[in-house]
Structure 1
Amino acid sequence: MSNLENLTQKIIDDAKSSAEGIIKEAEKKKEGLVSSRLEEAERLAEEILERANNEAEAIRYGIVSNAKLKARDKKISAKRNTMERTFQLAKSSFTNMNEKDYLNFLKSNIGNLKLKGTENLIVSENMRDSVKNAGFALQISDTETVDSGFMIKDKNTILNYTFDSIVDYLRDELESSIVHSLFKE
């Protein structure tokens, strides 16, 4: 029986040796697989982190750009409001012109016009008596008035010299120089 026992022992030893080899090979494959999966996980984590950083930078850039646009819009709005107030003050100062300046304004502007003499001069109600006493060759309207400045009316023609219309007419021409004066940048 000793041969049988030796043979059995040899088969068992070979089986153990073979099992140990298989186990070692399985361990190597396991370590390689784990290492490979860890490398892949680290690479994916880096990609995700890079994407997150890029998205965060894009969001930050958008927020900063939006804030700059809002600030610029508020600045432009403030400038427009200042311009509008400037023109309103100009209109107001013309409207509150004293009698002497008003009569000089009328004389200088009417003197430059070629009139037939049949026209009606329309002035503000508070200046009507002063204009009548100034001796203008035109008939002064007793029924129509303007808030400021004057108008000359004929059958088919109206010449509008109201201060509102003069300021509005000159506004485009004056805006750039006013912007330059008020907002030197």
Structure 2
Amino acid sequence: MISSNDFRPGVTIVLDGAVWRVVEFLHVKPGKGSAFVRTKLKNSASGSVIERTFRAGETVPQANLEKSTMQHTYKEGDDYVFMDMESYEESRLSAKQIGDRVKYIKEGMEVNVVRWDEQILEVELPNTVVLEITQTDPGLKGDTATGGTKPATVETGAMVMVPLFITTGERIRIDTRTDSYQGRE
């Protein structure tokens, strides 16, 4: 159990049988009446965001999450097969369980899998990945880094906007949080 007075961004709690992560919180002490905590909570499974108010000192169950490092070994049909780096057990995750970040997963990549009660909540990718460009328009002489951008397809099938001077076959670094080009490798 955790008190509403101990809420901080990133704290996970259980409400109505689901895991919620505290995104924002504000302790309010009105001049008249009792204090309360206004929060913005994000559902770890669906991603929906709600605002909820708790009385000051109210206790709610805290979600104990397990995080394990797993390596993507291969893809079979629509399932991605991951191997636990400690126990060497294989787990299959669907593209739906991984979410929209599936577009950056390639073989051999290590990810963190977050679980609650044996239920997978999310797959955390590294902040940046290095991928090879498989298709983009050719660069022309005089194209510069500040001149503009063009779409490029990387080896995992994801589309990323890159500077005009980047060509097919180059390896680039991509920020997985913002889907943006970071530089050449």
Provide TM-score, normalisation by structure 1. 0.20
- Larger % of strand: which? 2
Question: Which protein has the larger Cα radius of gyration, Structure 1 or Structure 2?
Answer: 1
Q: Which has the higher helix share?
A: 1
Q: Using CA pairs under 8 Å that are at least 6 residues apart, name the structure with larger relative contact order, 1 or 2.
A: 1
